[in-house]
């Protein structure tokens, strides 16, 4: 897998994602994709793209401006939103493999016309998602059999980490939800999205947890990384 180039969107914990990828293959070339660098054109040079975690997506991008009062304006970066929406457009244009992590799932869902739950504690009264004292929480995830994420992880249930207060709500065009976690209501939180018809699209996997921070987890971290890199190696 020589001369492979992967683009990773910039975030406060960019190095976590880079180290996670390089721990499987230290010869991969990583490109930091950032609106500060204004390097959207470099998507064309990448064999695959990772959308990272971070700030909330501004609700104007999914037509829910009424959510603004319950969001922290310091946790919104419209410049990043606009830049990453352009990245996603370019990824689909060039048919690049795409792995979305946490916010990455959310911005990809929004790019495809979906919407977000603005704050899980407010909507569900559920405190099992997000961080406590700066540390990820752990919870169970349930995976639908016969889906790409089930084939990749070989699991139908398992424990993942959680560092988010938002999640996918209405699902974007062409996507299906393939993993869920439970709440203390009758609703579930979407934990993974993929193409409904993968045979008609380039490779895509969107997960709500952080595989780069549970790197020792064979099923929910290593297998996802390996599947992504396998697809990238084909490009």
Which domains are seen in the chain, by residue range?
5-232 (3.40.50.880)
Mean pLDDT of the chain: 91
Alpha carbons 52 and 57: distance in angstroms, whole number: 12
Alpha carbons 207 and 163: distance in angstroms, whole number: 12
Mean pLDDT of 32-49: 97
User: pLDDT-based confidence at 204, cuts 50/70/90?
Assistant: very high
Phi-psi region of 72 (alpha: psi -120 to 50; beta: other; left: phi over 0): beta
Q: Is 140 within 8 Å of 182 (Cβ atoms)?
A: yes
- The conformation of residue 171, written as its DSSP 8-state character, comes to P
Alpha carbons 35 and 80: distance in angstroms, whole number: 6
User: pLDDT-based confidence at 185, cuts 50/70/90?
Assistant: low
Q: Is 141 within 8 Å of 191 (Cβ atoms)?
A: yes
SS3 178: strand
* pLDDT above 60 for 21: yes
Give the C-alpha distances (Å, rounded to integers) separating 163 from 53, 77, 139, 144: 9, 18, 11, 22
Mean pLDDT of 153-177: 93
* pLDDT above 70 for 184: no
User: pLDDT-based confidence at 130, cuts 50/70/90?
Assistant: low
**Residue the block writes with tokens 């207060």:** 165
N-term to C-term CA, the chain: 11
Q: Is 205 within 8 Å of 148 (Cβ atoms)?
A: yes
User: pLDDT-based confidence at 163, cuts 50/70/90?
Assistant: confident
User: pLDDT-based confidence at 114, cuts 50/70/90?
Assistant: very high
Question: Per residue in 65-112, pLDDT tens?
Answer: 999 998 989 999 999 999 999 999 999 999 999 999 999 999 999 999
Q: Is this structure's pTM higher than 0.85? A: yes
* pLDDT above 60 for 14: yes
User: pLDDT-based confidence at 62, cuts 50/70/90?
Assistant: very high
Mean pLDDT of 180-202: 85
User: pLDDT-based confidence at 120, cuts 50/70/90?
Assistant: confident
Neighbours of 168 (CB within 10 A): 24
- The conformation of residue 222, written as its DSSP 8-state character, comes to I
């Amino acid at each position: 897998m020589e001369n492979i180039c992967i683009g990773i969107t910039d975030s406060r914990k960019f190095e976590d994602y880079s180290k996670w990828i390089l721990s499987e293959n230290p010869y991969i070339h990583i490109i930091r994709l950032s609106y500060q660098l204004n390097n959207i054109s470099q998507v064309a040079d990448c064999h695959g793209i990772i959308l990272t975690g971070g700030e909330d997506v501004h609700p104007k991008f999914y037509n829910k401006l009424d959510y603004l009062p319950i969001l922290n304006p310091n946790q919104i970066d419209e410049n990043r939103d606009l830049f990453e929406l352009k990245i996603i457009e370019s990824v689909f244009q060039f048919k690049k493999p795409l792995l979305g992590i946490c916010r990455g799932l959310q911005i990809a869902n929004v790019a495809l016309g979906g919407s977000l739950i603005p704050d899980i504690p407010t909507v569900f009264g559920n405190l099992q998602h997000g961080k406590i004292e700066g540390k990820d929480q752990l919870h169970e995830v349930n995976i639908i059999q016969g889906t790409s994420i089930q084939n990749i992880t070989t699991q139908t249930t398992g424990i993942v980490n959680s560092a988010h207060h938002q999640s996918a709500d209405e699902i974007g065009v062409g996507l299906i939800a393939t993993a869920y976690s439970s709440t203390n209501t009758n609703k579930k939180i979407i934990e993974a999205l993929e193409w409904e018809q993968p045979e008609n699209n380039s490779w895509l996997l969107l997960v709500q947890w952080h595989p780069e921070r549970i790197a020792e987890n064979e099923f929910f971290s290593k297998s996802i990384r390996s599947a992504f890199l396998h697809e990238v190696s084909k490009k």
